[in-house]
Amino acid sequence: MPEPGAQLICASEALVDGGTGVRFALVHRGREIGAFAVRHGGTVYAYLNECAHVPMEMDWQEGQFFDATQTWLVCATHGALYEPHSGRCVGGPCRGAKLVALAVQEELGKVCWIPGGDFQPLPSSLTLS
């Protein structure tokens, strides 16, 4: 059963290994900001949709976060490469910096984001009880 307060991102089948990510929005420190979820190595990961170098959205087309090899998350603006499992930059102008990770849970065919701390749902978000 999803954790209380969990926010539905998508159905599990919407995320394919190395494939298109699913974008969603949340409130971070009082402002609405984009985030995304992807699947890599069978596991779902979620991050704020901001490059660690300069806070610009990373996808080169909506939902396209992986490089051509489906190995790295890539910033379309700066070319920074990130490990999908850790968010750590391994190439580009912010080497060693990390994407801001979000807590996610996959259960019963659903991928959910778990709000907490500075990360809160939009007032209109769908909460799973």
Q: Is 67 exposed, middle or buried (0-12, 13-18, 19+ CB in 10 A)?
A: middle
Q: Is residue 90 part of a domain?
A: yes
Q: Is residue 129 part of a domain?
A: no
25 confidence band (pLDDT: 50, 70, 90):
very high
Structurally, the chain folds into a number of domains equal to 1
For tokens 């990961």, what's the residue?
45
Query: Amino acid identity of 60?
Result: W
Burial code of 79-109, b = ≥16 C-beta within 10 A, e = fewer?
A: ebbbbbeebbbeebebeeeebbebebbbeee
DSSP count for the chain of H helices, then E strands = 0, 12
Q: Is residue 125 part of a domain?
A: no
Average pLDDT over residues 85-98: 95
Q: Is residue 13 part of a domain?
A: yes
Q: Is residue 67 part of a domain?
A: yes
127 confidence band (pLDDT: 50, 70, 90):
low
CA distance 112 to 88: 22
Q: Is the pLDDT of residue 71 over 60?
A: yes
Q: Is the pLDDT of residue 3 over 90?
A: no
**Residue 45's domain spans which residues?**
6-119
Q: Is residue 35 part of a domain?
A: yes
Here the CATH number for the domain that contains residue 26 is: 2.102.10.10
Q: Is the pLDDT of residue 123 over 90?
A: no
Q: Is the pLDDT of residue 10 over 60?
A: yes
CA distance 57 to 52: 10
76 confidence band (pLDDT: 50, 70, 90):
very high
The structure tokens listed for 126 are 């769908």
Q: Is residue 126 part of a domain?
A: no
CA distance 38 to 19: 7
Q: Is residue 28 part of a domain?
A: yes
The structure tokens listed for 8 are 């539905």
